[in-house]
Amino acid sequence: MKKILITGALGQIGSELVMKARDIYGEDNVIATDIRKTDSPVVQSGPFEILDVTDAQAMAGIAKKYNADTVVHLAALLSATAEAKPLLAWNLNMGGLVNALEVARELNCQFFTPSSIGAFGPSTPKDQTPQDTIQRPTTMYGVNKVSGELLCDYYYHKFGVDTRGLRFPGLISYVAPPGGGTTDYAVEIYYEAVRKGRYTSFIDAGTYMDMMYMPDALNAIINLMEADPAKLVHRNSFNVSAMSFEPEQIAAAIKKQMPSFTMDYDVDPVRQAIADSWPNVIDSSAAIAEWGFKADYDLDKMTADMLLKLNDKLN
């Protein structure tokens, strides 16, 4: 039976991954940690510990206390926050990662951490971005993600740690907000559609970015972690995408369900520059071939579900 330690458990991915992992592996076998405690179901439904991931000793102590055999390291700053606070991002994103990898090495744990489409940069091919390609990002977040991918590969080759990762696109969900990301507009738009029937986009018309609905992202994490290691040619990290769209297309998908919905633009130059440096659409074929990645939600199916769930949540 797995004993899974999850950092950043109250974040956008953690809030849902903890609950799903507790369903699959048992409530007591998923140890949620975060720098703060809230009244989230994550805190109420199983073991929870306060943890600052830059504190290596504290992380090792919690992992030993619960005999963790798997580490899922999610705690990180997203792209726009990292651009505003680059030194903090380096210290938190890289310091937290190396601490988590050290725990995995010492306790012989399986290891997962997300990378991102942010690991690509302006010199990367923009369309059907290959699995193995140029990675020269121009953002601090991207520098962290490429360094993280290399570090995870290093721990696999040097120490035999079973490291695995995914290059996530923008993740869309109705449970916990993302916060500080460039793709956040594609989450905000649904909240504002339900609250106000209109949205002002900080990302400009014509900007394509990859996206994925959270249920597909959670399945991708579980399926990759359960995948037969003999079939993995790559490890850190796999391209995975479910859809790619520009702001007009998500607005049009909402309009199909809510004909009165309107959108205009007030472009944020910082987040627009980050978005412009990322691919339009990445190629997920290595993930499909090596461990059977598949996504169930396209833009229309996700939009119908988001609006339904947010109507229940907000009204």
Cite the DSSP H helix spans in the chain.
14-25, 41-44, 56-65, 79-84, 86-89, 95-107, 140-159, 185-196, 214-226, 247-257, 269-276, 285-291, 299-314
Q: Which of residues 140-159 bind ligand AKB (CB under 6 A)?
A: 141
Q: List Cβ neighbours of 310 (8 Å cut-off, separation of 6 or more).
A: 174, 190, 191, 193, 194
**Which member of 70, 79, 173, 236 binds ligand AKB (CB under 6 A)?**
79
In three-state secondary structure terms, 239 is strand
| Nearest CB to ligand AKB, comparing residues 24 and 88 | 88
Is there binding between residue 124 and ligand AKB (CB under 6 A)? no
**Nearest residue to 100 (alpha-carbon basis) of 76, 82, 116:** 76
Tell me the number of residues near ligand AKB by CB under 6 A: 13
Shortest separation between residue 167's beta carbon and ligand AKB, angstroms: 9
List the beta bridge partners of residue 109. Answer: none
Is there binding between residue 135 and ligand AKB (CB under 6 A)? no
Q: Is-catalytic flag, 141?
A: yes
| Nearest CB to ligand AKB, comparing residues 51 and 209 | 209
**Nearest residue to 44 (alpha-carbon basis) of 27, 63, 25:** 27
| Nearest CB to ligand AKB, comparing residues 78 and 242 | 78
Return the residue matching tokens 């940690």: 33
| Nearest CB to ligand AKB, comparing residues 40 and 81 | 81
Shortest separation between residue 46's beta carbon and ligand AKB, angstroms: 26
Q: List Cβ neighbours of 17 (8 Å cut-off, separation of 6 or more).
A: 6, 9, 72, 74, 218, 221
Number of H helices, E strands in the chain: 13, 14
- Nearest residue to ligand AKB on Cβ basis: 181
**Which member of 165, 170, 247, 279 binds ligand AKB (CB under 6 A)?**
170
The one segment of 40-48, 129-137, 162-170, 241-249 that binds ligand AKB by CB under 6 A: 162-170
Is there binding between residue 183 and ligand AKB (CB under 6 A)? yes
- 313-to-38, 69, 103, 114, 183 alpha-carbon distances in Å: 18, 36, 38, 28, 22
| Nearest CB to ligand AKB, comparing residues 47 and 279 | 279
Half-sphere exposure of 293 (CA within 13 A, CB side): 26
Is there binding between residue 118 and ligand AKB (CB under 6 A)? yes
What is the secondary structure of 65-106 as a DSSP string? HTT-SEEEE-----HHHHHHSHHHHIIIIIHHHHHHHHHHHH
Is there binding between residue 181 and ligand AKB (CB under 6 A)? yes
Shortest separation between residue 78's beta carbon and ligand AKB, angstroms: 4
**Which member of 93, 116, 236, 244 binds ligand AKB (CB under 6 A)?**
116
| Nearest CB to ligand AKB, comparing residues 47 and 181 | 181
| Nearest CB to ligand AKB, comparing residues 93 and 163 | 93
**Cα–Cα distance measured from residue 168 to residue 315, given in angstroms and rounded to the nearest whole number:** 31
Catalytic residue (choose from 25, 66, 141, 155): 141
Is there binding between residue 137 and ligand AKB (CB under 6 A)? no
DSSP at 249: H
**Nearest residue to 7 (alpha-carbon basis) of 34, 25, 26, 29:** 34
Shortest separation between residue 93's beta carbon and ligand AKB, angstroms: 11
Is there binding between residue 239 and ligand AKB (CB under 6 A)? no
Q: Which residues form the interface with ligand AKB (CB under 6 A)?
A: 78-79, 116-118, 141, 168-170, 178, 181-183
Catalytic residues, by residue number, are: 141
